[in-house]
């Protein structure tokens, strides 16, 4: 969805959003840990899924921290970033999307193959 260059301070909105994501991740982690302690023993596949979810939350938290740090830095010294045209921004986002897509393909393939072996 193409966002405009509208009004309002995007840095504050992004920082608030990053903080909310971090808080939600912490809450989810606490709920998951509580459920683990109360519930029955987990199968190997379930333990793997729990560990994967835990790892993803950790990565998400680190990304939120990095994003907040970048926002603080840019907010404090906006002259560090030159003006970038919308066309250039779109090009960068297209490259990042292609990179993420290429990185996800082998992971999705592995999950699919493991799912066929363990669930059938």
Q: What is the pLDDT of residue 35?
A: 64
Domain boundary among 65, 81, 97: 81
- What is the per-residue pLDDT across 25-61, written as a single tens digit (0 to 9) for each? 778 777 777 766 666 787 888 888 888 888 888 888 8
Instruction: Say whether both 77 and 94 belong to one domain.
Output: no
Global pTM?
A: 0.42
Boundaries of domain holding 24: 8-81
Domain count for the chain = 2
CA dihedral 87, 88, 89, 92 (to 10 degrees): 120
Flag whether pLDDT at 90 surpasses 50.
yes
Write down the residue that tokens 């999705």 correspond to. Answer: 108
In a domain, 39, yes or no: yes
CA angle 62, 67, 72 (to 5 degrees): 125
């Amino acid at each position: 969805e193409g966002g405009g260059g509208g009004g309002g301070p995007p840095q504050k909105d992004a920082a608030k959003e990053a903080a909310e994501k971090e808080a939600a991740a912490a809450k989810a982690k606490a709920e998951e840990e509580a459920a683990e302690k109360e519930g029955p023993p987990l199968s190997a596949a379930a333990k793997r899924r729990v560990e994967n979810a835990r790892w993803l939350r950790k990565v998400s938290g680190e990304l939120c921290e990095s994003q907040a740090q970048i926002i603080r830095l840019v907010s404090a010294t906006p002259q560090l970033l030159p003006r970038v045209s919308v066309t250039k921004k779109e090009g960068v986002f297209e490259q990042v999307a292609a990179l993420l897509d290429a990185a996800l393909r082998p992971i999705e393939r592995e999950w699919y193959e493991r799912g066929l072996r363990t669930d059938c």
